Amino acid sequence: MKRIKMGCTTLSIPAMALGIMRMNQKSVPEAQVAIQAAYDAGINFIDSADIYGGGKSEEIFGQAFSQMQIKREEMFIQSKTGIVPGKCYDFSKEHILHSVDEILERMQLDYLDSLVLHRPDALMDPEEVAEAFDQLQAAGKVRFFGVSNFDTAQFKLLQSCLSQRLMFNQLQFSLKHTGMIDFGMHMNMVDKPSVDRDSQFLDYARLHKVTVQAWSPFQYGMFEGTFIDNDGFPKLNQELQKLADKYEVGKNAIAAAWILRHPANIQMLVGSMNPQHIRDSAKGAKIRLTRQEWYDLYLAAGNYLP
């Protein structure tokens, strides 16, 4: 598995992480198979969130992982907080501290390697978040911190009050969600791709050594479905299959390789619980697409160059 530097540190993490959003749909033995498949492929990074399955995903993970032979220190385990489903976003100190205690209990852990704030809270008080982070770090409950779906200004605002460096920002990115790179190639134009919807965060991340974590790498829309083997995307799947045949892997591996080819050293979150899909996706970390292959996929996905 390809390794990348984590944020501004010298620590290395795998270029892929296993997202456990759907682990609530699995039995404990099935969850163990998925975790083991990821680990055997070099994916020793787990991404979770307190709302996944209403907490059930973390409970299943905790039960499964506690019975496995993998040592805790061999895994990097991350969870997210801040969303109160259907009610509000909550970055209050009280909510963050309480949420972490519940996460640790569900996952049967003494500490998290990373805590990520899930979606921007319009009422965020950066100084209050800083107090929560300091308390969690001092208590040994969380080692590192990050955010998810933050724009550049929100990221900089929070960072200005923290004593820790933010390591991550989770953002949607895939062959069918390319806004972070579209606007740069359509600079100074008035067409739809020229609109910057991500506040140039990808460039900011490269300048300031922040690890972008790409979620929904095989999805189109907002959880509308996968574009892999989807009849609605014939040209893209034809191109994926052509390269899959060339590199002797599955389409998932090629779609993953497309993300990892970007020089920003993006970490991709694999959300599948299917062991075969996990193994195939992991193969993408060993493939370096040519520049033309990367652009061929970009164009096959329905994008165009000005």
Six token digits for residue 79 = 């969870």
d(CA 273, CA 108): 20
Gap between the Cα atoms of 124 and 293, Å rounded: 42
- Out of 1.10.287.610, 2.60.40.1180, 3.20.20.100, 1.10.1040.10, the CATH code matching 12-300 is 3.20.20.100
The pLDDT assigned to 224 comes to 82
Instruction: Tell me the domain boundaries of the chain.
Output: 12-300
Confidence of residue 122 (pLDDT cuts 50, 70, 90): very high
In 3D space, the residue among 211, 302, 288 whose CA is nearest the CA of residue 254 turns out to be: 288
pTM to 2 decimal places: 0.95
Q: Are 257 and 289 in contact, with CB atoms under 8 Å apart?
A: yes
Q: Are strands 219-220 and 112-117 parallel, antiparallel or unpaired?
A: unpaired
For 12-71, write each residue's pLDDT tens digit.
999 999 999 999 999 999 999 999 999 999 999 999 999 999 999 999 999 999 999 999
Does position 147 have pLDDT exceeding 90, yes or no? yes
Rg, the chain, Cα only: 19
Catalytically active residues are 52
Q: Are the beta carbons of 21 and 271 closer than 8 angstroms?
A: yes
Structure tokens at 2: 């390809």
Tens of pLDDT along 209-254? 999 999 999 999 877 899 999 999 999 999 999 999 999 999 999 9
Tokens 């165009």 locate to: 304
